[in-house]
Amino acid sequence: MTHLLFSYGTLQLPAVQAEVFGGSVPGEGDAVIGFVLRRLTIEDPKVVALSGTAVHPVLVPAPDPVAQVDGTAFTLTDAQLAAADDYEVDAYVRRRFPLRSGRDAWVYVLAAD
């Protein structure tokens, strides 16, 4: 089975894809609707070393329901989606949201407190 995963951050980086997925994955430009970007400090040393930074973007709901954040929609296998889940820290949660293209995709957003 394949899954559509929208990335707006470090999963778009070739080095991160190589480590997390074992190589590059197919994707195309798109945008998620109803969100804006904020910054999140990551404390997991493995994620920081792999991404090259401790400050990562994170999606939060926008006051404007038509706000959009650009990124890439990747087509992943079950195993690749599980690997993405393992890579993301607990501050993120994976949920389905609409994209500008009209498709729905899995998206990592800020986890609720």
Domain ranges of the chain: 2-110
- How would residue 85 be classed by pLDDT, with cut points 50, 70 and 90? very high
> Which phi and psi (to 5°) does residue 25 adopt?
-120, 150
Q: What residues contact 105, with CB distance under 8 A and at least 6 apart?
A: 4, 5, 6, 30, 32, 73, 96, 97, 99
Check residue 112 and give its pLDDT: 77
pTM of the model as a whole: 0.93
Q: Check whether 113 has a pLDDT greater than 70.
A: no
pLDDT digits (tens, 9 = 90+) for 36-67: 999 999 999 999 999 999 999 999 999 999 99
In CATH terms, the fold of domain 2-110 is: Hypothetical upf0131 protein ytfp (3.10.490)
77 in Cβ contact with 2 (< 8 Å)? yes
Q: Which of 78-113 are b and which e, b meaning 16 or more Cβ less than 10 Å from the residue's Cβ?
A: eebbeebeebbeebbeeeeeebeeeeebbbbbeeee
